[in-house]
Amino acid sequence: MISKKGIFNILIVDDNPDHAQLAKDKLLSTNPEYQINIAHSGTECLKLLSQNNFDILLLDYNLPKENGLELLSKLRKMYQLPVIFVTGQGNEKIAVNAIKSGAYDYITKSTNYLSILPLVVEKAITAFQTKKLQAKLQKSLEESEEKYRDLVENANDLICTLDSTGKITTINKQAISFFHYSKNEILKMNLKHFISPDVRKNIPTFIRKTIEQGTVSGFKTKLTNKEGKEIIVEINASLIKQNGEISGIRTIIRDITQREKMEGEIKKSKHYLENLFASIQDAIFCLKPDTTIASCNEAAEKIFNYSKQTMLGKKLTALSTDDRKIFSLIKKIIDPKITKKIYAQEVLMKKKDGKKFPAELQISSMKNKKTENTEILVTIKDISERKQLQLRLIQADKMVTLGQLAGGVAHEINNPLTSVMGNAQLLLMQLPPTNPGYTEIQKIEQSAQRCKSIVTNLLGFSRQQEFEFQATNVNEIINRTLSLYERQLTIENIRVVKKYAKNLPKLKLSAPQIQQVFLNLIVNAQQSMPSGGNLTISTEISNTASSKNKLIDNKQSEKNITITFQDQGMGIEKESLARIFDPFFSTKEVGNNTGLGLSVSYGIIKKHKGNIRAKSNGKGKGSKFVIILPLETEKESL
């Protein structure tokens, strides 16, 4: 049976760790459920193969001690699995030798080979498993046919002759063996005596048709012997004539019980393969030689929002805005002078409503055995999410650069700020409090102190080194974080409501990391309240056993500190709550947010053996983020 989509074990054999990791990352980006192992030599490869069952092997040519072709020769004698041979640019001759040695396919390490790698792997796995299933069915069919041939050659069919009333006049050994009567007893009986009662009424019609037509083929019925054993049979009958006169009816009765069962299994297998084709998430089109659509799968209907009947007979270019690219690929695929029969390219497709989307189009040709015509198989994968992910990664890189820039600016400001503070303090020491300028200098000194605090916090926030766990008061960290952002909150007309628990015990934690979490939540709240509102921040001591803290992972402490950030903003839709902490997931437009803040925050809280969760009653009803930290947090590397 073919494995469910996504649950495949893949072995990558490459002496270059970077190349192997790139291939692994690319495959996992298209299917996170792939199970991928990496070997850097032939010895490692053979060891992993002896310990695991793999569905496919990606084999690089350059390996230590022995090359990929030598290893491939060993593997073909020991294992039955598809091998995709990977060669460097310009090594097509080696790749051809690999195909001759038993490799399923090969890929040249060109600049875009990673983009087609997932398609080649998926195709190889599907083709190999389909081939195994077909071989199994073929073997069963061949065994069945061999049985039938043996029956014919050795007269194992039930052969008997009848008179015009159906009375048995002659019979062979196989029939005697089945009926379990003596020959003399059988010759006194009518054939309908052995026919199952529910179909016995059809026998007179069968005899009449044989007399009228001369032959009757494929008459199916059921026979029952003396012991009650029932079999399904197919009866072929022909008239026996002597001197031009009908002297009887010859019947060859063949047991088709096993064949009926096999046909049922074949129907089930065909249904399974049809369901497999329908379950593939990419759009698949089969084109006629004139490039009109002959068939497509359900995914094509979902992706393009057309019904299957509407798309049949249309040109594939009707679903695209890149007509020239598609025409060029089709021209190559049907050109008999070009040996390469599979191409892939990124194109722009369009849905029924005219909405355009980027897609990865793979095109190949196949021979229709019934019509002898060359048909074109096209697979179209919607890569909109991949494109969005690329944009977010670029934005994430920008944010990292901005963080480094912020740290650098803070360092540059720190020195002159120290000078301002020092001179202000010296002036205050020299002037009496009654001096008219004394109050103004005090304001300068206080403002400098505040700027110094902001710069210190900014520097601590931007550092990337490992932080140590220290006993710290959570309320103080919140206040320090607010000092970084309180001016922006005031400008945005956001009022901070503090509901701190008194005498809150200190926690062993990394203050800069926890400060990063708090700052992320404050910024999220500010961005969700463009017209202003209240941001309520509360702290309290709670119990692990309480219903609201069931998500806590810590089993060493019964008491926790709960920190809540509640805003009056736009809220979070129910569909988004389950993914709110996923990397690169954001409810904001691309460019307004990297989608990393909550993911990073989640990781930091987990490192503190705590938990963080989001709540919202829906769009426009505000959001609440609850952080639960155990009172006993052990030191751990962040």
pLDDT digit string (tens) for 286-328? 888 788 898 888 888 888 999 989 999 888 888 888 888 888 8
Q: What span, in angstroms and rounded, lies between the C-alpha atoms of 213 and 243? A: 18
Structurally, the chain folds into a number of domains equal to 5
Q: Are residues 501 and 593 in the same domain?
A: yes
Q: What span, in angstroms and rounded, lies between the C-alpha atoms of 414 and 420? A: 10
User: Which tens digits make up the pLDDT trace of 30-45?
Assistant: 888 889 999 999 899 9
Checking if the pLDDT of 636 tops 50, the result is: no
Q: What span, in angstroms and rounded, lies between the C-alpha atoms of 43 and 64? A: 9
**Host H or E run for residue 211:** helix 203-213
Q: Inter-axis angle of helices 384-430 and 438-462, to 10 degrees?
A: 150
Alpha carbons within 13 A on the beta-carbon side of 308: 11
Q: What is the dihedral of CA 145, 147, 148, 152, to 10 degrees?
A: 140
Percent of the chain with pLDDT over 70: 85
Q: Are 284 and 297 in contact (CB under 8 A)?
A: yes
- Average confidence (pLDDT) over 265-272: 84
pLDDT at 198: 77
Nearest to 223 by CA among 274, 292, 168, 271: 168
pLDDT at 586: 65
**Host H or E run for residue 562:** strand 559-567
pLDDT at 497: 93
For the chain, what's the residue count? 638
* DSSP-derived secondary structure for 368-409: -TTT--EEEEEEEEE-HHHHHHHHHHHHHHHHHHHHHHHHHH
Q: Is residue 150 part of a domain?
A: no
Q: Is residue 402 part of a domain?
A: yes
Q: Are residues 225 and 298 in the same domain?
A: no
Q: Are residues 598 and 499 in the same domain?
A: yes
Q: Are residues 245 and 297 in the same domain?
A: no
- Average confidence (pLDDT) over 201-230: 87
User: Which tens digits make up the pLDDT trace of 415-471?
Assistant: 788 888 888 888 888 888 888 888 888 888 878 877 776 676 556 555 544 557 889
Checking if the pLDDT of 553 tops 70, the result is: no
pLDDT tier at 12, thresholds 50, 70, 90 = very high
SS3 state at 430: helix
Q: Is residue 615 part of a domain?
A: yes
Q: Are 458 and 406 in contact (CB under 8 A)?
A: yes
- CATH number of domain containing 35: 3.40.50.2300
Q: Are residues 125 and 207 in the same domain?
A: no
Q: What is the mean pLDDT of the chain?
A: 82
Nearest to 81 by CA among 7, 131, 151: 131
SS3 state at 613: strand
Q: Is residue 182 part of a domain?
A: yes
pLDDT at 626: 94
- CATH number of domain containing 353: 3.30.450.20
pLDDT at 594: 46
Q: Last residue of a domain, which of 452, 481, 496?
A: 452
pLDDT tier at 152, thresholds 50, 70, 90 = very low
Q: Are residues 440 and 317 in the same domain?
A: no
User: Which tens digits make up the pLDDT trace of 470-521?
Assistant: 899 999 999 988 988 888 888 889 999 999 998 899 998 988 889 888 988 9
Close Cβ partners of 439 (under 8 Å, ≥ 6 residues apart): none
Chain mean position to CA 571: 30
pLDDT at 89: 55
Q: Are residues 207 and 234 in the same domain?
A: yes
Q: Are residues 220 and 248 in the same domain?
A: yes
Q: Are residues 505 and 626 in the same domain?
A: yes
Q: Is residue 176 part of a domain?
A: yes
User: Which tens digits make up the pLDDT trace of 576-620?
Assistant: 777 777 665 666 654 445 455 677 788 788 888 899 888 988 788
Q: Is residue 556 part of a domain?
A: yes
Its domain, for residue 357, covers: 282-381
- Average confidence (pLDDT) over 255-263: 88
Q: Is residue 274 part of a domain?
A: no
Q: Are residues 530 and 626 in the same domain?
A: yes
**Host H or E run for residue 222:** strand 215-224
Pair of tokens at residue 87: 């060669």
Q: What span, in angstroms and rounded, lies between the C-alpha atoms of 171 and 51? A: 60
SS3 state at 226: coil
**Host H or E run for residue 239:** strand 230-242
pTM of this structure: 0.37
pLDDT at 99: 84
pLDDT at 533: 92
Pair of tokens at residue 84: 């995709």
User: Which tens digits make up the pLDDT trace of 158-188?
Assistant: 888 899 888 999 888 888 888 889 989 999 9
Write down the H helix ranges in 88-172.
92-100, 113-153
Alpha carbon distances (Å) from 29 to 33, 60, 113, 131: 10, 21, 15, 27
Q: Is residue 34 part of a domain?
A: yes
Question: If you search the block for the tokens 């030689």, which residue do you land on?
Answer: 289
Q: Are residues 298 and 397 in the same domain?
A: no
Q: Are residues 580 and 507 in the same domain?
A: yes
Checking if the pLDDT of 269 tops 70, the result is: yes
Q: Last residue of a domain, which of 79, 110, 141?
A: 141
Percent of the chain with pLDDT over 90: 13
* 404/21: higher pLDDT: 21
User: Which tens digits make up the pLDDT trace of 522-541?
Assistant: 988 888 898 899 999 999 99
- Average confidence (pLDDT) over 222-228: 88
